[in-house]
Chain A
Amino acid sequence: DIQLTQSPSFLSASVGDRVTITCRASQGISSYLAWYQQKPGKAPKLLIYAASTLQSGVPSRFSGSGSGTEFTLTISSLQPEDFATYYCQQLNSYPPVFGPGTKVDIK
């Protein structure tokens, strides 16, 4: 099975900051990677698929990049509603595992 790691596990940031989260796969997954945002008590929300394609309705301050084994999610200017936990997921092969998550907290 493909394993995903995320760094950092926890990130403290301020409104307006540029934030970058990294997801690494144990083997190449081309661009078969999605990013999700989850707020406490809520279901995950799809942000990005195909590593860099923004889901409809997601603000343009979110962007994704990478291919192969290393991927990044960037929030260009952190907004109050962006404080949440972010997960990557590989969909290159079964099982479509999730990364362990990165919690973005208020500094």
Chain B
Amino acid sequence: QLQLQESGPGLVKPSETLSLTCTVSGGSISSSSYYWGWIRQPPGKGLEWIGSIYYSGSTYYNPSLKSRVTISVDTSKNQFSLKLSSVTAADTAVYYCARRTGDRVETYYYYYMDVWGKGTTVTVSS
């Protein structure tokens, strides 16, 4: 059964770079069927999509974060990573990694995020 696990520092200082890794187990990150994504949730608030990556390295980023975000993949380690630069207190959140897959329903192919990590809390504070 596919599992995702986030890892990284739980405390980051303002203006520094937040770095997280998602390790995929029970399946290959190199499958052509999947994109791998990062989503975050500030305390008491809703979900915000950060960005996604394909095993080839192709990426999509949320325009609101694009200038500060880099997502990369390491297929040899079955991992993908998030870097968020110049963090502020507003970046304090639970960060989730997740798999985006899809399914054909009637004529069309529909996407969804079906496997999520448990999340890791990152606090930005000096």
Contact of B111 among A32, A43, A95 (CB under 8 A): A32
A95 with B62: in contact, given A30-B108, A50-B103 (CB under 8 Å)?
yes
Question: Number of contact residues on A: which range applies?
Answer: 20 to 34
Q: Determine how close the nearest CB of chain A comes to the CB of B22; give it in whole angstroms.
A: 12
CB-defined contacts of A97 to chain B, threshold 8 Å: 49
B11 at the interface (CB under 8 A from A): no
Instruction: List residues of B (47-103) whose CB comes within 8 Å of A's CBs.
Output: 47-49, 60-63, 96, 98, 100, 103
> Main secondary structure on chain B at its contact with chain A?
strand
A32 with B110: in contact, given A95-B49, A98-B46, A98-B48 (CB under 8 Å)?
yes
In the complex the two chains form, is B117's CB within 8 Å of A53's CB?
Answer: no
Which residue from chain B places its CB closest to the CB of A95 in the assembled complex? B62
CB-defined contacts of B47 to chain A, threshold 8 Å: 36, 38, 44, 87, 89, 98, 101
In the complex the two chains form, is A53's CB within 8 Å of B60's CB?
Answer: no
In the complex the two chains form, is B60's CB within 8 Å of A46's CB?
Answer: no
In the complex the two chains form, is B113's CB within 8 Å of A46's CB?
Answer: yes
CB-defined contacts of A50 to chain B, threshold 8 Å: 103, 105, 108, 110, 112
B116 at the interface (CB under 8 A from A): yes
How many B residues touch A, CB cutoff 8 Å?
Answer: 24
In the complex the two chains form, is B112's CB within 8 Å of A34's CB?
Answer: yes
A66 at the interface (CB under 8 A from B): no
Query: Complex: how many Å from CA A54 to CA B76?
Result: 34
In the complex the two chains form, is B103's CB within 8 Å of A53's CB?
Answer: yes
B118 at the interface (CB under 8 A from A): yes
**Apart from A43-B116, A50-B105: 9 A-B pairs, beta carbons within 8 A:** A32-B110, A34-B112, A36-B113, A38-B47, A50-B103, A50-B112, A53-B110, A55-B114, A98-B46
Q: Which residues of B contact A (CB under 8 A)?
A: 39, 46-49, 60-63, 96, 98, 100, 103, 105, 108, 110-114, 116-119
Q: Which residues of A contact B (CB under 8 A)?
A: 1, 30-32, 34, 36, 38, 42-46, 49-50, 53, 55, 87, 89, 91, 94-101
